[in-house]
Amino acid sequence: MRLGPLSFACILSALIVGCGAPPTATKDAPVTKEEAATSKGTELKPAFTKPEQVAEKMQVPAYPGASFDDETVNKSYKNDQGEYRLALTMVTKDPVDKVAKFYEGVFALQSFKKENGVDIMGRTKSGTFLMLSVTAESEGTVIRAKGIVSETEKKPATNPM
């Protein structure tokens, strides 16, 4: 089955939206080891300690001259299926069009213009599901990347198609 760009964007957006926060535990029956730890009052630990490590794992090159948001590591974790749910934020003073063109050249993925920027999304050659949002905001051009990376050789278990 072939999906149109809008259908694909909706499915991928719904999939990636959960990347920003670790799973939460239920009081009745935790599902994963991480959730069990959380339900006992233990904090989930980020998968990485530095934003550069997140960028490397996602295979998203840092935009030249951009600064990383150090909170990135708090939004990245690994689940029981061996998948990393990763989030990365960078800020630059360069205009949206220049930043978008840079990432469109890096990834051969679909890009979608929006009111204040560009979204680039799809599966990279290495199998990573990636959603990259480049938007104009008050602090400059903000680059937000979210991705699902499998630790195993097979493609990620979370497949929107």
Q: Domain total for the chain?
A: 1
Range 33-46 average pLDDT: 49
Does residue 156 lie within any of the structural domains? Answer: no
pLDDT tens profile 81-134? 778 888 999 999 999 999 999 999 998 888 999 999 999 999 888 888 999 999
What's the CA gap between 101 and 111, in Å, rounded?
Answer: 10
Per the domain annotation, does 21 fall within a domain? yes
Print the domain residue range for 80: 5-150
- pLDDT score for 152: 65
33 half-sphere exposure, CB direction, 13 A CA radius: 7
Confidence of residue 21 (pLDDT cuts 50, 70, 90): very low
Residue 85 lies in a domain: yes
- For range 25-54, the mean pLDDT: 56
Q: Is residue 70 pLDDT above 90, yes or no?
A: no
Domain-located, residue 58: yes
Cα distances from 103 to residues 23, 30, 35, 161, in angstroms, run 29, 39, 35, 24
Dist. CA 99–CA 132, nearest whole Å? 11
The per-residue pLDDT of the chain, averaged, comes to 75
Residue 66 lies in a domain: yes
Q: What is the pLDDT of residue 93?
A: 96
- 39 touches 26 (CB < 8 A): yes
Identify whether 87 is part of a domain: yes
